[in-house]
């Protein structure tokens, strides 16, 4: 018995875990954590239908008590009162069986009542899925060793708490970094939907009640007969967890199925959508609704026929209305613009398009608004559209998948960023108008509202591509339920549920996660200039120049003297005037604009002094150095957890944090070099362009290697790398070391291209000291969008600690190309303890 218990405790700490059960693991609690707790001896689930969330809740409770305490508890559906039991069901069912509750809790849709008195537990939902939410809440308490007596009602702040997946019918996922689709493959719905059910379980555990399963860049083939039947199967797979499915629509579908038009006012089009909707509801009787991206980024829409976006949205609203379905109509509508027009601004588009339509949308339409006016950047001001729709229901769109924020290869805990918007007070009519109270429907007295989180999970066992990024999915659900919650305390629940109760683990992951967004902002794009990534290619590594000189409108307007978008009314694009007066005047005036949004609203000299006293350019330099330095500490913090986390997850995270530490230096150097080169203004601290511990590859003696001018130039140290002279030639680069004799960390900066795996061997005095393969992207170890070029996406660093060298030793690196990858090498650095270069 004792051995069995010890074994379980041991399992809880170090058993291999591939991430699949995420935060709903029911890992055994160490005995000391629960010896005072009277574990319930029975579960009474007031429903016998196996597809009912109440039935599911009974099973979850059973699994949870078994996993957490090692206690087998039976589930009964008998309707007799039972001592020492967990009773779970809807309030209505409970009342039928046991009579009226003494103090009836006030519950809104999806709300639940949870009461624990020792082993007597009551979990009652306003509806069936709500009871399941209550069960997850109870199990989350137990799994965290929290046995306090509670009695409270928990109500969601808004009815719409949805996920959006950008899954394509061929099984790929747009901006997904966790593998292929769990729903689609080869143009149809996959046979095995086990992962869909497991996904529904994760979502229900944090109160998410709906999911759009396909990409907003939709494909009309989803609406063929076979696929509609397949959608029925997805819905069946997710229903036991109370997650309703919905779909994205291609506005032009009627034409693709043979009609001569897709004009939303044409009777044949209306009839076509009515019939399609009916066919869908036959297979998915509880379908949540539709999501529509219209007239945006090449997607068709009502503007083709000079109809308004509201007429487009209402077409679907009317078809859905008999079934209680909802249309989520995206406000992400904009046109290509010309940068030579000083007043042109993509940020203006949403208000320009939608404000005049306020009041014209049917009641079951919700306008889904990205948090900022551009596109999920590392920092944006709150979208002013939230302040401009008073007679229309709205929802916020957040991006859980880290498209512009490191694609799950950089740790970035997103809720502190989301909170800058959720907690922002737009001061409509000079009254409190906090975004979270607008999307809940409360501020403008709207019946609908809520949130949509773009998750893009895939078949990877970590769901999103990395274990630490699961905190973003978890926290999204928690904030969708109650957006006023504190990101740090949500994070800590997630850490305990995912990694156990060790305080060292809790403190280390809390620290690195809470510092991660500020660090990423520091080394990617500060002062409101946006994520300075390559907006035309992968959205991953640095490429500031790609922002300007094209029609996409994510401009920085940087030249050799000045930088930033003038969005004032007085002299710029007029964007600041889209806010209510109190907020507008704050942003209109450079003196009251916060530093972190200065370049979003104003066009200034690089020498402009910030409120902090630094100049803009010196802030760029300092922030990038400080951000990259912080990223190095994540790795050190994680290393203190060795042995406290199971090896599988420890190694997976270690690999990623090591990569991030290196890639943050790529970011730092690229951005600081770019603006140093453009402005000609030196770094006061003399760091930019000075790298005393580096040896440039092109300065070594080369054989079979040749210098290569990298583009963009700033993504190579000294603008130059080396590549082998052909794709079959083995290259050698060697040099005599002039460093003082000692022990160093050897950093090697190379490029990992998609389309080949090069091999590298390192020798000191002809003795092989290290070797590595450039296999991070080809075997999808990282999962970010790869690149086939030498650039800021492929630039990578690997570090070998504790390399002993003596002055005068010969260093040699031998590169063997693979596929299209010519064993590219940028530089090596011999780093004494504590030096980052
Ligand atoms: C699904 C950005 C992304 C696109 C995405 C689009 C949208 O432009 O890069 O991948 O398309 O936003 O949100 O519709």
Residue 297 Cα to ligand 1 middle (Å): 8
Interaxial angle between packed helices 415-422 and 487-499, expressed in degrees from 0 to 180 and rounded to the nearest 10: 150
112 and 94 Cβ atoms separated by less than 8 Å: no
The closest-lying atom of ligand 1 relative to the alpha carbon of residue 215 is 1
611 and 595 Cβ atoms separated by less than 8 Å: yes
- Residue matched to tokens 């450039």: 774
- pLDDT band per the 50, 70, 90 thresholds, residue 626: very high
- pLDDT band per the 50, 70, 90 thresholds, residue 84: confident
User: Which of 156, 179, 201, 211 lies closest to 57 in space, CA to CA?
Assistant: 201
d(CA 378, CA 372): 10
User: Which of 7, 21, 14 lies closest to 497 in space, CA to CA?
Assistant: 21
**CB within 8 Å of 260: residues ≥ 6 apart:** none
The closest-lying atom of ligand 1 relative to the alpha carbon of residue 370 is 13
Q: Among this protein's residues, is 198 annotated catalytic? A: no
Output the CATH code of domain 160-485. Answer: 3.20.20.80
The closest-lying atom of ligand 1 relative to the alpha carbon of residue 175 is 10
User: Which of 518, 560, 554 lies closest to 539 in space, CA to CA?
Assistant: 554
| DSSP at 615 | B
Q: Among this protein's residues, is 297 annotated catalytic? A: yes
pLDDT value at position 10?
39
Paired sense of beta strands 244-249 and 289-292, if any: parallel
Residue 346 Cα to ligand 1 middle (Å): 14
Q: Which CATH architecture has domain 500-565+603-680?
A: Alpha-Beta Complex (3.90)
Q: What is the pLDDT of residues 809-822, one digit of tens each?
A: 999 999 999 999 99
Share of the chain above pLDDT 70, in %: 98
Of 93-107, 129-143, 479-493, 698-712, the one with minimum mean pLDDT is 93-107
Domain ranges of the chain: 2-154, 160-485, 500-565+603-680, 694-831
Interaxial angle between packed helices 194-205 and 470-481, expressed in degrees from 0 to 180 and rounded to the nearest 10: 50
326 and 395 Cβ atoms separated by less than 8 Å: no
Tell me which of 164, 168, 173, 174 to substitute to probe ligand 1's pocket, judged by most ligand atoms within 8 Å of the beta carbon: 174
d(CA 462, CA 19): 5
Q: Which CATH architecture has domain 694-831?
A: Sandwich (2.60)
pLDDT value at position 505?
98
- pLDDT band per the 50, 70, 90 thresholds, residue 15: low
pLDDT value at position 101?
84
| Residue 783 pLDDT greater than 60, yes or no | yes
The closest-lying atom of ligand 1 relative to the alpha carbon of residue 397 is 13
Residue 730 Cα to ligand 1 middle (Å): 41
pLDDT value at position 196?
98
User: Which of 106, 297, 486, 684 is an active site residue?
Assistant: 297
pLDDT value at position 16?
73
Residue 166 Cα to ligand 1 middle (Å): 9
| Residue 483 pLDDT greater than 60, yes or no | yes
- Residue matched to tokens 């579960």: 43
Q: What is the chain's mean pLDDT, rounded?
A: 96
| Residue 738 pLDDT greater than 90, yes or no | yes
pLDDT value at position 3?
35
Q: What is the pLDDT of residues 593-625, one digit of tens each?
A: 999 999 999 999 999 999 999 999 999 999 999
Residue whose Cα lies nearest atom 13 of ligand 1: it is 332
Q: Among this protein's residues, is 375 annotated catalytic? A: yes
In 3-state terms, what secondary structure has residue 421? helix
**CB within 8 Å of 227: residues ≥ 6 apart:** 169, 188, 189, 221
pLDDT value at position 349?
98
Tell me the whole-structure pTM to 2 decimals. 0.97
User: Which of 137, 295, 403, 791 is an active site residue?
Assistant: 403
- Residue matched to tokens 């010890």: 6
* Number of Cβ atoms within 10 Å of the Cβ of 306: 8
Residue 479 Cα to ligand 1 middle (Å): 23
Q: What is the pLDDT of residues 123-149, one digit of tens each?
A: 999 999 999 999 999 999 999 999 999
Residue 436 structure tokens: 């979270």
Q: What is the pLDDT of residues 531-547, one digit of tens each?
A: 999 999 999 999 999 99
d(CA 217, CA 248): 8
| Residue 64 pLDDT greater than 70, yes or no | yes
| DSSP at 299 | B
Tell me which of 165, 167, 172, 175 to substitute to probe ligand 1's pocket, judged by most ligand atoms within 8 Å of the beta carbon: 175
In 3-state terms, what secondary structure has residue 480? helix
Phi, psi of 209, rounded to the nearest 5 degrees = -115, 5
In angstroms, how far apart are the furthest CA atoms of the chain? 89
Tell me which of 164, 166, 398 to substitute to probe ligand 1's pocket, judged by most ligand atoms within 8 Å of the beta carbon: 166
| Residue 183 pLDDT greater than 80, yes or no | yes
User: Which of 117, 43, 125 lies closest to 78 in space, CA to CA?
Assistant: 43
In 3-state terms, what secondary structure has residue 292? strand
d(CA 670, CA 194): 44
- pLDDT band per the 50, 70, 90 thresholds, residue 103: confident
2-154 is classed CATH 3.40.50.300: no
State the average pLDDT over residues 401-411: 98
Residue 330 Cα to ligand 1 middle (Å): 11
State the average pLDDT over residues 548-552: 97
Q: Could you tell me how far CA 205 lies from the centroid of its own chain?
A: 18
- pLDDT band per the 50, 70, 90 thresholds, residue 781: confident
Residue 18 Cα to ligand 1 middle (Å): 30
Paired sense of beta strands 150-154 and 112-117, if any: antiparallel
For residue 712, say if its preceding peptide bond is cis, omega within 30 degrees of 0. yes
Which residues line ligand 1 at a C-beta cut-off of 6 Å? 166, 174-175, 215-217, 293, 297, 332, 375
End-to-end CA gap in the chain: 55
Residue 53 structure tokens: 């969330």
| Residue 262 pLDDT greater than 50, yes or no | yes
pLDDT value at position 270?
98
State the average pLDDT over residues 287-291: 98
């Amino acid at each position: 018995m004792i051995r069995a218990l010890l074994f379980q405790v041991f399992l809880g700490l170090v058993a291999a875990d591939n991430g699949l059960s995420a935060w709903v693991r029911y890992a055994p609690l160490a005995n000391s954590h629960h010896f005072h707790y009277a574990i319930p001896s029975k579960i009474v689930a007031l429903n016998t239908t196996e597809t009912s969330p109440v039935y599911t809740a009974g099973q979850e409770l059973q699994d949870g008590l078994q996993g957490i305490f090692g206690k087998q508890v039976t589930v009964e559906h008998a309707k007799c009162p039972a001592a020492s039991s967990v009773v779970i069901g809807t309030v209505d069912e409970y009342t039928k069986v046991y009579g009226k509750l003494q103090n009836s809790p006030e519950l809104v849709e999806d709300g639940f009542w949870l009461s624990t008195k020792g082993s007597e537990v009551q979990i009652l939902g306003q509806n069936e899925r709500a009871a399941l939410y209550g069960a997850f809440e109870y199990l989350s308490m137990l799994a965290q060793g929290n046995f306090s007596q509670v009695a409270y009602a928990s109500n969601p702040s808004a009815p719409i708490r949805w996920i959006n997946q950008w899954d394509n019918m061929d099984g790929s996922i747009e901006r997904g970094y966790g593998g292929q689709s769990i729903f689609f493959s080869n143009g149809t719905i996959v046979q095995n939907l086990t992962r869909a059910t497991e996904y529904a379980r994760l979502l229900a555990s944090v109160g998410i009640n709906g999911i759009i399963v396909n990409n907003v860049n939709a494909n009309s083939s989803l609406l063929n007969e076979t696929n509609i039947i397949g959608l029925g199967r997805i819905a069946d797979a997710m229903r036991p967890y109370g997650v309703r499915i919905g779909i994205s629509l291609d506005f032009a579908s009627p034409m693709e199925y043979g009609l001569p038009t897709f004009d939303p006012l044409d009777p044949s089009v209306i009839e076509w959508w009515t019939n399609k909707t009916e066919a869908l509801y036959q297979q998915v009787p509880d379908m949540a609704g539709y999501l529509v991206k219209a007239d945006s980024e090449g997607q068709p829409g009502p503007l083709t026929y000079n109809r308004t976006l509201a007429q487009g949205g209402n077409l679907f609203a009317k078809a859905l209305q008999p079934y209680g379905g909802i249309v989520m109509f995206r406000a992400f509508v904009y046109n290509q613009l010309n940068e030579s027009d000083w007043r042109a601004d993509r940020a203006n588009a949403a208000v320009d398009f939608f404000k005049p339509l306020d009041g014209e949308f049917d009641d079951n339409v919700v306008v889904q608004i990205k948090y900022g006016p551009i596109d999920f950047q590392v920092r944006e001001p709150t979208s002013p559209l939230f302040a401009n729709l008073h007679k229309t229901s709205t929802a916020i769109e957040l991006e859980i998948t880290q498209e512009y924020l490191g694609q799950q290869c950089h740790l970035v805990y997103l809720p502190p960023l989301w909170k800058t918007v959720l907690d922002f007070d737009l001061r409509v009519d000079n009254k409190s108008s906090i975004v979270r109270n607008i999307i809940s429907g409360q501020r403008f007295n709207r019946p609908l509202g809520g949130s949509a989180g773009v998750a893009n999970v895939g078949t990877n066992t970590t769901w999103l591509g990395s274990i630490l990024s699961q905190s973003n999915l978890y926290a999204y659900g928690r904030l969708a339920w109650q957006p006023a919650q504190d990101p740090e305390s949500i994070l800590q629940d997630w850490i305990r549920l995912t990694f156990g109760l060790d305080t060292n683990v809790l403190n280390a992951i809390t620290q690195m996660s809470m510092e991660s967004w500020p660090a990423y902002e520091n080394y990617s794009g500060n002062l409101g200039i946006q994520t300075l990534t390559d907006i035309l290619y992968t959205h991953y590594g640095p490429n500031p120049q790609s922002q300007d000189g094209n029609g996409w409108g994510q401009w920085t307007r940087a030249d050799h003297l000045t930088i930033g978008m003038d969005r004032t009314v007085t002299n710029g694009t007029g964007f600041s005037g889209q806010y209510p007066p109190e907020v507008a005047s704050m942003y209109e005036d450079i003196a009251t604009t916060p530093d972190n949004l200065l370049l979003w609203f104003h066009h200034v000299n690089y020498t402009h002094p910030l409120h902090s006293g630094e100049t803009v350019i010196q802030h760029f330099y300092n922030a990038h150095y400080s951000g990259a330095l912080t990223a190095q500490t994540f790795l050190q913090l994680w290393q203190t957890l060795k042995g406290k986390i199971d090896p599988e997850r420890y190694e997976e995270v270690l690999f990623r944090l090591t990569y991030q530490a290196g890639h943050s230096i790529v970011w730092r150097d690229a951005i600081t070099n770019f603006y140093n080169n453009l402005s000609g203004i030196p770094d006061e601290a003399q760091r930019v362009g000075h790298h005393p511990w580096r040896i440039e590859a092109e300065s070594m003696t080369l054989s079979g290697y040749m210098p290569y001018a990298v583009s963009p130039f700033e993504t190579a140290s000294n603008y130059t790398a080396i590549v082998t002279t052909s794709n079959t030639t083995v290259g050698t680069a060697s040099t005599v070391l002039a460093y003082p004799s000692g022990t160093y960390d050897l950093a090697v900066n190379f490029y990992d291209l998609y389309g080949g795996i090069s091999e590298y061997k390192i020798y000191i005095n002809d003795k092989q000291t290290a070797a590595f393969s450039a296999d991070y992207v080809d075997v999808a170890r990282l999962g970010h969008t790869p690149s086939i070029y030498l650039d800021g996406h492929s630039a990578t660093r690997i570090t070998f600690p504790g390399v002993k060298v003596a002055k005068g030793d010969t260093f040699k690196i031998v590169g063997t190309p693979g596929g299209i990858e010519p064993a590219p090498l940028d530089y090596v650095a011999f780093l004494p303890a504590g030096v980052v270069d």
